[in-house]
Amino acid sequence: MGKARAAKAARRAQRDRIAGAHFWHGGIGGLTAGEEIIPPTLQDVYDPMSSALYLAEAQANRVYFTTDRELARVFASAVFRGRGSGALYRVQPIGDVLTDPDFPTVG
């Protein structure tokens, strides 16, 4: 199988995996249904990247979500502790989606 065909098969497998999954994001509270979640680099409010509890491996130009509801819930409660309310959101990814190498089965 050539490189182009293998890349196409990988994209198709990724799309199929996403199609039936439920995704969760633990973030800042107060968003409404349908509101787009944007990365910290584009936010005018509190930057979660400045929290000592935020993962050092996280990149501020990305929005993280997971198929593991409890992981998202823990993230929302731990990272935003003492800085307002965190919230759990069920989300629908748009744009490019990458697997987080630190959480390959759920990230």
76 pLDDT above the threshold of 70: yes
52 pLDDT above the threshold of 50: no
Share of the chain above pLDDT 70, in %: 70
67 pLDDT above the threshold of 90: no
Which residues, 6 or more positions from 30, have their beta carbon under 8 angstroms from its beta carbon? 85, 87
Range with the poorest average pLDDT among 7-11, 25-29, 33-37: 7-11
Instruction: Please report which confidence band the pLDDT of residue 70 belongs to, taking 50, 70 and 90 as the band edges.
Output: very high
Q: Which two tokens stand for residue 99?
A: 């697997």
Terminal alpha carbon distance of the chain: 28
